[in-house]
Structures are given as C-alpha cells and as structure tokens.
C-alpha cells in the first residue's frame, strides 16, 4: 500500500468582501516593497497631492480606481495624495460601498 502526503496541496480559499460579495483583488503590499513604491510615486508626482495640489513628503500613495472596483495594482493606477485628501477619498469610497 502506497501512502501519499497531501500536505503540499493547499486549498484555494477566496477572500470575500462581505459588503459586496466580491473577491478581494489582491493582498496588501507592505514593508520594503511599499517603501519603494512610495518613493517612486512620490518622485514621479513631485510629492504633489493629486486633489489639492499641496506639496508634502508626508503624503500617501492611493489607488485612483480602488482595487475592489477592479483597479489595477500598478503605478498607472497610483496617485500621491496628502493625508487629508486621502482620508476624505477613502471615506467617500467607503460610503459608496455600503
């Protein structure tokens, strides 16, 4: 009798956004990779907020088209925003999701 181990097979589990019932687009980027993205987008956008035009090195990288609506995880979909504008945009998007 041959015994095979199935420990190498991982089940495919979809993460579900319970508010919309849609699969989450991608995992969040963290750490060193996120730092490099922030540097790249900040330099490209000259640290200027896409909404209010304020120049700040303390800004945030934001997806223009949210990932849960089909936005791509690419630099073409990323914008530099000051923290205040990013918070406002995120709150507006959250209200639209409900």
pLDDT in tens, 13-69: 444 444 454 555 567 788 999 999 999 999 999 999 999 999 999 999 999 998 888
Q: What would be the CATH architecture of the domain defined by 16-97?
A: 3-Layer(aba) Sandwich (3.40)
Q: Tokens standing for 24?
A: 């989450």
Contact 3, 41 (CB under 8 A): no
Q: Are 34 and 25 in contact (CB under 8 A)?
A: no
Domain boundaries, the chain: 16-97
Name the pTM for this structure.
0.70
Q: Write down the pLDDT at residue 13.
A: 43
The pLDDT confidence band at residue 1, using thresholds 50, 70 and 90, is low
Structure tokens, 11: 């089940």
**Which pair of structure tokens corresponds to residue 22?**
């849609």
* Residue in the structure block whose two tokens are 């090195």: 57
DSSP-derived letter for residue 39 is H
């Amino acid at each position: 009798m041959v015994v095979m181990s199935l420990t190498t097979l991982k089940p495919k589990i979809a993460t579900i956004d319970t508010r919309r019932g849609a699969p989450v687009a991608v995992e969040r980027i963290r750490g060193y990779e996120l730092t490099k993205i922030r540097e790249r987008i900040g330099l490209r956008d000259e640290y200027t907020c896409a909404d209010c035009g304020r120049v700040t090195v303390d800004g945030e990288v934001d997806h223009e088209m949210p990932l849960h609506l089909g936005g791509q995880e690419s630099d073409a979909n990323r914008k530099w925003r000051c923290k205040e504008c990013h918070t406002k945009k995120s709150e507006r998007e959250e209200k639209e999701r409900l």
